[in-house]
Amino acid sequence: MSYSLNEVEAHSKRATRGAGLGWGLAEEAAKATRWMCAQNIDGCRVLIGVLEAHQDSACNLQPPISLVGEWRAEAGRLCPLHVGASLSDCATLVGSNGVGIRDLSHPLFILPFVAAAARRTKTNLQVRWPGATMTTSGKTVDLAISTEAAFYVEQVEQVEITVAPPLTKDANQIGRARPCSQDWEKLNSFAALTYAPATEASRRLGAGAGQSDND
């Protein structure tokens, strides 16, 4: 199955809310997922990894304790959504000096936020971790990866964001996403958690499937 980017964005937003994250982060997650899909990156797969990590107390995802020097969590791992939001807030700093990030969960999810910083500062930025290097102008991205596993890695100890030379690659975005059916169903499961269960009062008003018109 293929889905429009609008469908991906709306479904990602509902799924992120269902996973217990706030509206602001849900909107950011949805836009990030859409951007990755437009670049022919499996954004739904990456988002699911982030949401599942948030459900896992062992991951202990945290925001950065400071945006001065190397970014790190006080304990546990850095959450890529919180890191992404911080990258948006610090776009000028990132576009000038870059930044180092420690113990980041699902690092690929910060790529759309790095791209947004590149657009805002009108520069090219490069994201690197072992086995993966991505350079973006904001509109397009050039990938150099050793393996798929390195690209979609669940956690890395070190990520470097630096200013990069100009890209020669033209923008070549796609208009539809093709997540695997299993991943789409996982998003469905998260999104379903946002639906309020039907109450007896709502059933009397005709909501839900508690009554039938076929007498």
Average pLDDT along the chain: 89
> Which residues neighbour 31 within 8 Å (Cβ) at sequence distance 6 or greater?
9, 112
Give the pLDDT mean for 2-13: 96
Percentage of the chain with pLDDT > 90?
Answer: 75
Residue 199 lies in a domain: no
The pLDDT of residue 166 is 86
Residue 215 lies in a domain: no
Residue 209 lies in a domain: no
Q: What is the pLDDT of residues 157-200, one digit of tens each?
A: 999 999 999 887 776 778 899 999 999 999 999 999 987 554 45
Residue 67 has pLDDT above 80, yes or no: yes
* Paired sense of beta strands 61-62 and 77-78, if any: parallel
CA distances from 173 to 46, 77, 126, 127 (A): 18, 32, 19, 20
| CA separation for the pair 109, 181 (Å, rounded) | 21
Residue 207 lies in a domain: no
Give the pLDDT mean for 123-140: 95
- Give me the helices (H) in the chain, please: 5-18, 23-38, 43-55, 80-89, 91-97, 111-121, 148-151, 181-192, 200-204
The pLDDT of residue 167 is 84
The pLDDT of residue 197 is 59
pTM: 0.87
Residue 147 has pLDDT above 70, yes or no: yes
The sign of the CA dihedral 145, 151, 157, 160 is positive
Nearest to 70 by CA among 97, 106, 32: 97
Residue 214 has pLDDT above 50, yes or no: no
- Number of folded domains that form the chain: 1
Q: What domain range is 49 assigned to? A: 3-171+179-194
Residue 200 lies in a domain: no
The pLDDT of residue 200 is 53
Q: What is the pLDDT of residues 83-103, one digit of tens each?
A: 999 998 999 989 888 999 999
Residue 93 lies in a domain: yes
